[in-house]
Amino acid sequence: MNCSRGKRVKENITAMYARKNFGRLLDKTALLGESYVIERAGRPMAALVSVSRLEDLQAGGVAMGGALEKLIKKIKDPKSKKLEKAIAEARSAAADLLL
C-alpha cells in the first residue's frame, strides 16, 4: 500500500517504543514522510503519519464516500450481491490508498 509520496509503512512499533522515541519518530514522519503503525499487545492501535499524508487520506475518503453513494443509487436493490461485491472492491481500493 503506497502513500502519495511513494513511502510505505516503515514498520510496526510498540506503544512503549513510540513513547520513548516520540521526538525521533515525529522528525522522521514530518521530514522524511515515514509512517508507523503503533501496536499495543501485538494489536494495531494507531498510525503515525505526516500531516500531508493525513490530508491526502481525508481527501481520498471524501472522494470514496461520494463514489460509493453514486454507486448505491445506480444499483436498484441495495441489498444485492452486486452491491456487496462493489462495496468490497471499494474497500479494497480505499485500503490501497492508506499507508
pLDDT, one tens digit for every residue, the chain (99 residues): 334 444 556 789 999 999 999 999 999 999 998 999 999 999 999 999 998 888 887 777 666 666 767 776 776 666 677 777 777 777 777 666 554
Asked if residue 60 is part of any domain, the answer here is: yes
Asked if residue 83 is part of any domain, the answer here is: yes
Which DSSP category does 9 fall into? E
pLDDT value of position 25: 96
pLDDT value of position 91: 72
pLDDT value of position 5: 44
pLDDT value of position 29: 92
Asked if residue 56 is part of any domain, the answer here is: yes
Could you tell me the pTM of the whole model? Answer: 0.56
CATH number at residue 75: 3.40.1620.10
Asked if residue 1 is part of any domain, the answer here is: no
Asked if residue 41 is part of any domain, the answer here is: yes
Angle at 36 between CA 21 and CA 88, to 5 degrees: 160
Beta bridge partners of 19: none
pLDDT value of position 65: 66
Asked if residue 32 is part of any domain, the answer here is: yes
Q: Of 37, 50, 62, 63, give the one whose Cα is nearest residue 3.
A: 50
Overall domain count for the chain: 1
Structural domain span for residue 43: 9-97
Strands 9-14 and 43-48, sheet pairing? unpaired
pLDDT value of position 2: 38
Asked if residue 3 is part of any domain, the answer here is: no
